[in-house]
């Protein structure tokens, strides 16, 4: 069997775009690369919009990137190669937005322990639930580890190794901030993978934190990739050392737009919007049917949500589990006030844990955008900008599209909550309200084992004709999505034609370490 030369990528979110970008850089120039996007724009959940007369920047999807880990390095390398460094806006480790994080529990805003010893001690001693966590941290190294490769919910894991209140309050708030998800359903193995790996390898999270080295859980291939990137970007990585989070002058969409612009300049790449893929057919090659045309490929990379891949496959039961995990919907309410000092506190924002007793509108958290990214709007006007997120797993019981709360209601609710939580009585000058439907995949317990079965089924039925990437599989952050597309493309290009690449081959690594 010869190596694939004609690639069709399904889905033009960050995963599909980055797969196309890596192919365009590393595949032979004779390769043909087509990206099929169903909607009228590229970027998927990345949506940075400028609103009103003053063109205020609002983020409806992701708003910040982290420079850490191998995913952080891979994205920074991409940012550098796309000449985006001059547009980079960073939160440095000394900024309020890096140091000050809050939760709302049980009925007030509480500052979480940060980088300063004094303020951390103050917040621990003033809050009983933080004080109660101290013994559980001290005793954690003495708790027997779970049996090998056992998966459980995040709640079970944290309660078992630390205590229930840490899980119910601190970790649940974090899970709302990342997954908008239910701590009682999500798999610890597939969401808090580094904690899981520490227990598996050191018998204790705390012992592991003290003894492990950053590269301990990287595969040989990742170590090689990281070294290559680090060598190429030495100066940049030195500068970025002090950065906690970053975005760009025009928001995160500047990244997806820069990839699109770069791909438009490549002769062997075709970018197609308004091409909703409806059906795949696997014969000698793969036929891809959209509402517009029929395309042919040697190899199809699906960067679609797994549930959509399930619907377009020719036979429904051949690939298992694609429709197992649900995705949650999140209401985003972006608000801008015509005054720089509306907020009573400075920081990144606050999260609300599942255990907060009174949360009638199911708020997940509030980001203080103007604290985190103060320079994304044009001077001399300065605004206070906030984004409230509501719903997530709390919206799971809503089955019909029309049953979601209306935008006017969500706006009223957010204003009421901000009065109560932060004492904000001003009226926003601009706002943008929307519900991002089915936007964050939820890796329920057993996700890893399901990926394993899926991997072998793709190998058996669609070997070398289909591979998968995207937020449905190995992590939802932009860093994860780009990293997994990079790994996939490098594997496809490096492997001998007889090695089958599915995008899920990590499940074959014997010691099952991964990050």
Ligand X SMILES: Cc1cc2nc3c(=O)[nH]c(=O)nc-3n(C[C@H](O)[C@H](O)[C@H](O)COP(=O)(O)OP(=O)(O)OC[C@H]3O[C@@H](n4cnc5c(N)ncnc54)[C@H](O)[C@@H]3O)c2cc1C
- Sign of the C-alpha dihedral computed for residues 243, 247, 25 and 223 taken in this order: positive
The answer to whether 332 contacts ligand X (rule: CB under 6 A) is yes
- The 3 state secondary structure assigned to 51-120 is ECCCCEEEECCCCCECCCHHHHHHHHHHHHHCCCHHHEEEEECCCHHHHCEEEECCCCEEECCCCCHHHH
Q: Which residue has the tokens 């894991």?
A: 157
The answer to whether 71 contacts ligand X (rule: CB under 6 A) is no
The answer to whether 304 contacts ligand X (rule: CB under 6 A) is yes
The answer to whether 260 contacts ligand X (rule: CB under 6 A) is no
Number of Cβ atoms within 10 Å of the Cβ of 399? 6
Binding ligand X by CB under 6 A: which of 476, 486, 488, 500?
476
What secondary structure letter does DSSP report for 187? B
Q: How open is the CA angle 485-275-493, to the nearest 5 degrees?
A: 25
349-351, strands of its sheet edge to edge: 109-111, 101-104, 349-351, 363-367, 384-392, 327-337, 430-441
Shortest Å, Cβ 442 to ligand X: 12
Instruction: Convert residues 21-40 into a mask of x (bound to ligand X by CB under 6 A) and - (unbound).
Output: ---------------xxxx-
**Shorter beta-carbon distance to ligand X: residue 305 or 349:** 305
Shortest Å, Cβ 74 to ligand X: 13
The answer to whether 308 contacts ligand X (rule: CB under 6 A) is yes
- For residue 117, count CB atoms less than 10 angstroms from its CB and return exposed for 0-12, middle for 13-18, buried for 19 or more: exposed
Binding ligand X by CB under 6 A: which of 91, 440, 445, 483?
440
Shortest Å, Cβ 13 to ligand X: 2
> Comparing C-alpha atoms, which of 80, 89, 377 is closest to residue 258?
80
The answer to whether 477 contacts ligand X (rule: CB under 6 A) is yes
Shortest Å, Cβ 148 to ligand X: 30
The answer to whether 259 contacts ligand X (rule: CB under 6 A) is no
d(CA 158, CA 193): 13
Q: Which stretch binds ligand X (CB under 6 A): 117-125, 225-233, 263-271, 476-484?
A: 476-484
The answer to whether 387 contacts ligand X (rule: CB under 6 A) is no
Shortest Å, Cβ 2 to ligand X: 27
Shortest Å, Cβ 20 to ligand X: 11
Tell me the CA distances in angstroms from 189 to 125, 129, 196, 270, 290, one per residue in order: 32, 26, 6, 38, 36
289 within 8 A of 279, measured Cβ to Cβ: yes
* Cα R_g (the chain), whole angstroms: 23
The answer to whether 391 contacts ligand X (rule: CB under 6 A) is no
Binding ligand X by CB under 6 A: which of 35, 76, 183, 277?
277
**Shorter beta-carbon distance to ligand X: residue 329 or 465:** 329
236-271 burial, b at 16+ Cβ within 10 Å, e below that, comes to: bbeebeebbbbbbebbbbbbbbbbbebbeebebbbb
The answer to whether 422 contacts ligand X (rule: CB under 6 A) is no
The answer to whether 489 contacts ligand X (rule: CB under 6 A) is no
The answer to whether 11 contacts ligand X (rule: CB under 6 A) is yes
Binding ligand X by CB under 6 A: which of 6, 8, 12, 464?
12
Binding ligand X by CB under 6 A: which of 436, 442, 467, 502?
436
Interface residues with ligand X (CB under 6 A)? Answer: 10-16, 36-39, 44-46, 61-65, 276-277, 303-305, 308, 330, 332, 436, 439-440, 470-471, 476-479, 481
């Amino acid at each position: 069997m010869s190596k694939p030369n004609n690639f069709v990528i399904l889905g033009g979110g960050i995963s599909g775009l980055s797969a196309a970008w890596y192919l365009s850089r590393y595949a032979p120039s004779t390769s043909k690369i087509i990206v099929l996007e169903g909607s009228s724009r590229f970027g998927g959940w990345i949506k940075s919009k400028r609103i009103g007369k003053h063109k205020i920047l609002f983020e409806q999807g992701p708003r910040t990137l982290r420079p850490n880990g191998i995913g952080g390095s891979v994205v920074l390398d991409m940012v550098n190669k796309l000449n985006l460094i001059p547009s980079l806006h960073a939160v440095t480790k000394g900024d309020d937005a890096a140091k000050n994080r809050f939760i709302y529990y049980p009925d007030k805003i509480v500052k979480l322990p940060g980088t300063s010893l004094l303020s951390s001690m103050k917040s621990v001693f003033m809050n009983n639930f933080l004080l109660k966590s101290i013994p559980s941290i001290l005793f954690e190294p003495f708790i027997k580890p779970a049996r090998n490769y056992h998966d459980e919910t995040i709640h079970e894991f944290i309660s078992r190794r630390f205590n229930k209140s840490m899980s119910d309050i601190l970790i649940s708030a974090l899970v709302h901030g990342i997954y908008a998800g239910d701590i009682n359903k999500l798999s610890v193995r597939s969401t808090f993978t580094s904690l899981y790996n520490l227990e598996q390898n050191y018998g204790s999270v705390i012992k592991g934190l003290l003894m492990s080295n950053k590269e301990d859980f990287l595969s040989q291939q990742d170590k090689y990739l990281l070294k290559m990137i680090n060598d190429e970007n030495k100066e940049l990585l030195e500068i970025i050392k002090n950065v906690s989070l970053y975005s760009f002058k025009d928001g995160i969409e500047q990244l997806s737009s820069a990839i699109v612009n770069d791909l438009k300049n490549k002769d062997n790449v075709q970018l197609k919007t308004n091409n909703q893929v409806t059906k795949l057919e696997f014969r000698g090659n793969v036929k891809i049917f959209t509402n517009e045309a029929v395309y042919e490929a040697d190899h199809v990379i699906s960067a679609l949500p797994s549930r959509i891949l399930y619907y377009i496959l020719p036979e429904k039961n051949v690939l298992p589990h694609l429709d197992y995990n649900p995705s949650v919907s999140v209401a985003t309410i972006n608000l801008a006030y015509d005054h720089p000092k509306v907020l009573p506190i400075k920081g990144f924002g606050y999260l609300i844990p599942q255990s907060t007793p009174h949360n009638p509108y199911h708020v997940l958290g509030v980001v203080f955008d103007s604290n985190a990214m103060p320079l994304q709007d044009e001077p001399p006007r300065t605004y206070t900008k906030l984004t409230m997120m509501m719903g997530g797993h709390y919206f799971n019981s809503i089955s019909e599209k029309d049953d979601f709360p209306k935008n006017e209601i969500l706006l009223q609710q957010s204003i009421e909550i901000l009065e109560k939580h932060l004492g904000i009585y001003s009226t926003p000058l601009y706002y943008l309200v929307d519900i991002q439907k089915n936007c964050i995949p939820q890796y329920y317990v057993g996700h890893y084992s399901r990926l394993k079965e899926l991997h072998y089924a793709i190998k058996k039925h669609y070997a070398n004709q289909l591979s998968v990437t995207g937020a449905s599989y190995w992590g939802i952050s932009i860093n994860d999505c780009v990293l997994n597309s990079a790994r996939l493309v490098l594997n496809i290009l490096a492997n001998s034609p007889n090695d089958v690449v599915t995008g899920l081959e990590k499940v074959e690594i014997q010691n099952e370490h991964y990050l």
